[in-house]
Structure 1
């Protein structure tokens, strides 16, 4: 990291958007999911970090819930100059952190994938599931992302999975 770079830490129930090429967004995830969205042509991107899938029974500004976190992130990106049809996504998190709790991580991951599909936003890479926490670093202006898997032995770099592009579809 150069001395000019600024790290913005995204905590649970938070999001950020930036057009500054010196910004790196960072978060640590277990069962939570971070969605990194960016418009490569406009040089703008952002990251959210949500705890629970869905809306929590109400629409609003509670960013702990996926729908709210996604809608607010997308709206802020559009206000910052992104074009909706040019948005690209990268997904991280959704681990199963305990064996005795309900499957919050997989539920969060499924929600994020379905939300993007319904909104027509392509997911170009993802690292979802597993049983370990991960630290994610995202450069919002370029879409570059890096993750470190956190285990009892310390962080380890793990690759993200490329998602094949959807077939070309013409809508009338």
Structure 2
């Protein structure tokens, strides 16, 4: 029996796989997950970002793994390293909820950033489930580009914990 290997994607992570029995899973509130796949080489990946971009005035050389601007580039670069071509990549977008009506609309900003980033990279979005005020659980089979998205109790959504400190460099990221 070939069991599915489930890999949980947490805030600030991006993973890529070509394994036919791999499934990435995450739970999102205001965060956004991008699921990318290249159907020709059957490789795909998922990221999970907390905030779109660093605040204005921060140093451009300091990358924080929780920002979409970093994790989107990381995901694309990992896909390319696994044989994908950007021209063939397809995307699914999930999350971006505004869980608390009294707070800033972080989810909306995250969703707008993800759409804009993919449009500027000319990557086609084939499906999205963004916005609203409910948390979501996303299960993604990267080799086939198959996604299941379900609404979950907001209490299961990860707590927003933005960080202002630069994190240690974990390698080079090529910005296109």
TM-score range, shorter chain: 0.7 to 0.9
Q: Displacement, 1:3?
A: 5.0
Instruction: Kindly state the Cα deviation for residue 40 of structure 1 after the two structures are TM-superposed.
Output: 0.5
CA separation of 1:82/1:106 partners in 2, compared to 1, >3 Å: closer, same or farther?
same
Question: Is 1:6–2:5 an aligned residue pair?
Answer: yes
Whether the aligned pair in 2 keeps the contact of 1:55 and 1:66 (CA below 8 Å) is: no
2:66 to 51, 64, 67: 64
Matched, 1:117 2:119: yes
Once the two structures are TM-superposed, the CA of residue 148 in structure 1 deviates from its matched residue by 1.1
C-alpha contact (below 8 Å) 2:91/2:127 kept by paired residues: yes
The root-mean-square deviation of aligned C-alpha atoms, in Å, is 1.6
5 Å matches for 1:128-139? Answer: 128-139=130-141
Distance 1:8 1:112 in 2: 22
Alignment of 1:1-172 (within 5 A): 4-56=3-55, 57=58, 58-59=60-61, 61-151=63-153
Q: Structure 2: state its 5+ residue gaps.
A: 157-176
TM-score by structure 2 length?
A: 0.82
Q: Cα distance 1:69–1:141, how it changes in 2: closer, same or farther (>3 A)?
A: same
Quote the Cα distance in structure 2 between the aligned partners of 1:63 and 1:22: 27
Using the size of structure 1 for normalisation, the TM-score is 0.84
Q: Is the 8 A contact 1:6 1:24 kept in 2?
A: yes
- For structure 1, the 5+ residue unaligned runs are 155-172
Size of the alignment, in residue pairs? 152
Contact 1:46 1:140 in 2 (8 A): yes
Counterpart of 2:166? none
Displacement of 1:141 in angstroms is 0.4
**Cα offset for 1:111?**
0.2
Q: CA deviation at 1:18?
A: 0.2
* Partner-residue secondary structure (3-state), 2:74: helix
Q: CA deviation at 1:31?
A: 0.2
